[in-house]
């Protein structure tokens, strides 16, 4: 079933509805092919499509949402790709990859037979992935230990100076 925006839509003043005759790999007819899937991948704003060229990752399948599917490095930052858990799946509070809002998304695609009007894609989004920046959180016990050692070194150095 094809669902299109209502023909009663009227654009704001000084705007007009644009018709498209340009072919698109995302055209409704192209996506209706049984061999194609829709994937939704959320990436941080500072990652460009060219940054993703050549990135390799494992197919999501039934892999746990908390497990990394692939990695990407850009400058001094590291990123990991995760599968977004489905709403009723994995209620483990330790899985913090986010992206659950993506489960409510639907994809709008052009339909060339209707001059490029947008309609909902002929199939649901198969996989939802998220590319998250890896943030290293330091072990506070190690920081405290190093700080304590530094303080001890300073104190012993002062004692040596005072006894000289």
**How many C-beta atoms lie closer than 10 Å to residue 66's C-beta?**
14
The helix/strand/coil state of 116 is coil
Give start and end residues of each alpha helix (H) in the chain: 28-31, 49-52, 140-163
Query: Sheet of 70-74: strands edge to edge?
Result: 38-42, 125-133, 77-83, 70-74
Tell me what pLDDT residue 160 has. 60
- Sequence-separated (6 or more) residues with CB below 8 Å from residue 79: 44, 47, 71, 72, 73, 131, 132, 133, 134
Q: Per the structure block, which two tokens stand in for 124?
A: 């649901």
Tell me what pLDDT residue 5 has. 56
The residues spanned by each domain of the chain are 28-139
What distance, in Å, lies between the first and last C-alpha atoms of the chain? Answer: 91
Tell me what pLDDT residue 94 has. 46
Q: How many separate helices (H) and strands (E) can be counted in the chain?
A: 3, 6
Q: Which pLDDT tens digit goes with each residue over 80-105?
A: 888 887 755 555 554 556 777 888 88
* Residues with pLDDT less than 70, the chain: 1-8, 62-63, 65, 87-97, 150-164
Tell me what pLDDT residue 45 has. 92
């Amino acid at each position: 079933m094809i669902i299109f925006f209502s023909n009663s839509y009227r654009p704001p003043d000084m705007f007009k509805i644009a018709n498209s005759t340009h072919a698109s790999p995302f055209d409704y007819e192209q996506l209706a092919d049984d061999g194609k899937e829709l994937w939704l991948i959320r990436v941080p704003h500072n990652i460009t499509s060219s940054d993703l060229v050549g990135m390799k990752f494992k197919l999501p399948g039934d892999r746990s949402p908390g497990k990394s599917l692939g990695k990407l490095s850009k400058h001094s930052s590291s990123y990991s790709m995760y599968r977004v858990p489905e709403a009723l799946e994995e209620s483990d509070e330790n899985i913090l990859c986010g992206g659950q809002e993506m489960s409510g998304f639907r994809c709008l695609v052009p339909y060339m037979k209707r001059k490029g009007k947008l309609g909902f894609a002929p199939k649901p989004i198969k996989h939802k992935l998220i590319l998250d920046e890896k943030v290293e959180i330091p072990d506070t016990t190690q920081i405290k230990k190093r700080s304590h050692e530094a303080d001890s070194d300073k104190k012993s150095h002062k004692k040596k100076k005072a006894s000289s």
